[in-house]
Structure 1
Amino acid sequence: MVESFLTKSEPLKYKEENLKTEEMIINLGPQHPSTHGVLRLEVVTDGEIVVDVIPHLGYLHRCFEKHAESLPYNQTIPYTDRMDYVAAMNNEWAFVMGAERMLGIDKEIPKRVEYIRVLVSELNRIAAHFIAIGTYGMDIGAFTPFLWMMRDREHILRMLEWASGARMLYNYIWVGGLFYDLPVGFEERAKEFVDYLKPKLKDSETLLINNKIFIERTVNVGVLPRDLAINYGVTGPMLRGSGLRFDLRKVDGYSVYPELDFEVPVGTGKMGTVGDCWDRNWVRYEECWQSIKIIEQCVEKLSGEHKRTKEFDPRAMVPKKIRPKAQDFYVRAENPKGELGYFFRADGRSDQPLRCKARAPSFSNLSVIAEISKGCMLGDLFAILGSMDLNMGEVDR
């Protein structure tokens, strides 16, 4: 029963007869509500103290990489939606950027298309962070913030459905362009939503982020030092929560992000220690404000300098055949959970990649759970897990 997770380097570490007198092995999961997807944690405890945590994967296999290797590039886009399914626009965009750069058409994409991509991706970023913040409150006993976040997230889902025709899995961002232009009136509706959201977001800070009980449950818990985060390949809000100002929208400056004004929030140990659970959650909250700032600028550009015209065709640059020259290529983008990367190997003859590998941020972020959980109380393990904002669809992709 216990030997399934043992490695060759530690052949008998947790055999039952080798456990100390007070130690025991507890299985947490697999069950969806408590573990952010179908994840099983095998926890070795000494009373209520966590000795070690071993995550078990393999319960939600998406087969994404094999799908991508058996389909043309443009037909793979719907499968990207199904990895981190609460941030589907962001998944699509990274994949599409890779294909466009391999084809050498990335500099020819119309500016209106680029601003629309940023707009819908930042809306999706807010929706993803609302899931993270709302369910995190519920993880440690606060139910009302979840209801508030889901209420406001619903507005975003309706807007993205209006634009793409789908609620969560969009297939909207295409290689070379977009499925559709924005519906007439979308820019005005986006501005109305931003004006609506600002006071609601401030209320959420009072209700949850600065709540005394929430602070006591998250401060100085699950501290992730900056060097440990780097060594484990942690990215996104988890890395920035540890104090490192690393955001690919700034570092790589892809699309029109260099033309937009926004900040990169980082953890400062405002309530406790830099890199604790509270810092990670606070970074996500602050990123929602920055996404609002980006959305306002995109709406201004799309209503003015790059407004819609009768001649504009969002599919004008969509290639009839996607057949990149022979090469190995890696592309990355800043998803709500961190760095999403795609590695492609093209042979120059086929419209299907020989190899497609996804570098999912949740997978790397989950790998550090044992390091930051050792010595904590069993009840705090759920606070640590929730602060990671995992999506098992992209872990077991």
Structure 2
Amino acid sequence: MSEQITVGVGAGAQYLGVDRVIDLGPLHPSAHGAYRLRLTVTPDLVITAAEPLVGHLHRGAEKLFEVRDYRQVLTLANRHDWLSAFCNELAVALAVERMTGMDVPARAQWLRALLCELNRLMAHMVFLTPLSPNAAMYREGVQSLMEEASGGRIHFMFNRIGGLREDVPAGWTARVAEFLSTVDVGALEVDFSRLEGLGVLPLDDALAYGVTGPIGRASGVDFDLRRDDPLPAYKSLSFTPVVRTEGDAAARVRCLLDEARLSVALATQCLQELPSGPVNVRLPKAIKAPEGSVYTRVEAPLGTSGVHLSSRGEKTPWRLKLRTPSFNNVQALSALLPGTAVDDLPAVLSSFAVIVGDIDK
């Protein structure tokens, strides 16, 4: 075993000739939160081991859920992944609706699917912007539409138990259709030459770590809840999930681009199928889920977002456990970073989309 020494970033030349253990972070700029990477680096500046260290942003959200009623829970549920806010709300609303046997109106079901796809498009454009600055234009366009519909720019709080808080404004669907017609994902130029072959995540490792979403599908994980466990509206939509097998940084970015195209197509289909009618049901003063437990999940922009709700028949959850995609996905850095040159580390991390609040929920 070679000699190792632990140093900080920017250590001097006196440590050349031995492996170094470098604490990179806690990172914040462009990382959507604070986390650390503990890297073992050879004298030739090649990473031989990587350990993600999380816990810097922990806010105890799951304990806060236990002292809030189900309406209040929804206001917190969108905050752990602030780029997937609508999908996060939806996962919690679905759990309560399933526990209570509530029937959600058809228009609300279709609007939920439409807003999920707009949310996905917005999130992917955020991660693509450092690689292709023109993506910021599309991100701003779709975020303005989400803000117009919900009144919130980041934390939408538009879902409610039994549907949506209210219907979308008059003329909104026409503005969405007009915007979607202008989105040209093919015009987003990404320099793939510096991403090819870097940071390969094999399929077996992706499965072992429970990696989902575009990162998993870039490694051949053929799993997409919109097809495999669809919400009612998705059952009527025809599409094939984007799956690649290379598993490298280029494949992950190509998955984001291809899924952005898919979201445009699915949102357009939702607009064409959108029925008229109510968007919510009349609720009692206090919502009480019956005693028991249920697990619901949705395909959030970064992967499977699940909710395990346990109830004792009260107006607050006894336990509300979140299964967040970034928590599993970030562990895969241990498998894909070894063998990467330090000079290539920024390119690899730019392809690896995580939200730290989704880890330290």
TM range (shorter): over 0.9
Q: Name 2:290's counterpart in structure 1.
A: 325
Structure 2 Cα separation of the partners of residues 337 and 33 of structure 1: 19
**What is the aligned partner in structure 2 of residue 203 from structure 1?**
187
Q: Which runs of 5+ in 1 are unaligned?
A: 1-12, 138-144, 209-213, 269-273
Question: Structure 1 counterpart of 2:268, which letter?
Answer: E
Deviation at 1:238, TM superposition (A): 1.1
Number of the residue aligned with 1:389? 353
Unaligned runs of 5+ in 2: 8-14
In the alignment, structure 1 residue 97 sits paired with structure 2 residue 61 = no
What is the TM-score of this pair, normalised by structure 2?
0.92
Q: TM-score, normalised by structure 1?
A: 0.84
- 1:369/1:385 contact within 8 Å kept: no
Residues of 1 paired with 2:171 and 2:4: CA distance? 61
* Cα displacement string for residues 27-68 of structure 1 (whole angstroms, at most 9, x for unaligned residues): 222232254421111211112111211222122223210111
After TM superposition, give the deviation of residue 232 of structure 1 in Å.
0.7
Question: 2:18, 2:334 → 1: CA distance?
Answer: 20
Identity rate, percent: 33
Q: 1:234 aligns with which of 200, 211, 222?
A: 211
Counterpart Cα distance in 2 of 1:291 and 1:319: 35
- Deviations, residues 213-248 of structure 1 (Å, cap 9, x unaligned): x32221111111111111111011111111232101
SS of the equivalent of 1:71 reads coil
Q: Distance in 1 between matches of 2:121 and 2:87?
A: 11
Alignment partner of 1:159 is 2:145: yes
Out of 299, 313, 324, the position equivalent to 1:334 is: 299
Match of 2:113 in 1: 118
Report if aligned partners of 2:121, 2:260 keep a CA contact under 8 Å in 1. yes
Superposed CA deviations along residues 306-355 of structure 1, whole A, max 9, x for unmatched, are: 13xxxx4433244533212211221111000000111111112x111111
CA distance in 1, matches of 2:201, 2:68: 40
Correspondence for 1:263 among 215, 240, 245: 240
Q: Counterparts of 1:104 and 1:116 in 2: how far apart (Å)?
A: 20
Q: CA deviation at 1:81?
A: 1.4
- Shift of residue 15, structure 1, vs aligned partner: 6.9
Contact 1:62 1:82 in 2 (8 A): no
Tell me the alpha carbon deviations over residues 267-293 of structure 1, each in whole angstroms, 9 at most, x when there is no partner: 14xxxxx11111111111111111111
Q: RMSD value over aligned CA atoms?
A: 1.9
Q: Who is 1:52 aligned against?
A: 49
Distance 1:323 1:14 in 2: 57
| Partner SS for 1:171 | coil
Q: How many residues align?
A: 351
Contact 1:45–1:52 (Cα < 8 Å) also in 2: yes
Distance 1:63 1:387 in 2: 29
Deviation at 1:95, TM superposition (A): 1.1
Residues 223 and 179 (structure 1), Cα distance of their counterparts in 2 relative to 1, 3 Å cut: same
1:215 aligns with 2:215: no
Distance 1:35 1:183 in 2: 34
Structure 1 residue 385: Cα displacement: 2.3
State the 4+ residue runs in structure 1 displaced beyond 6 angstroms.
none
* Structure 2 residue identity aligned to 1:168: I
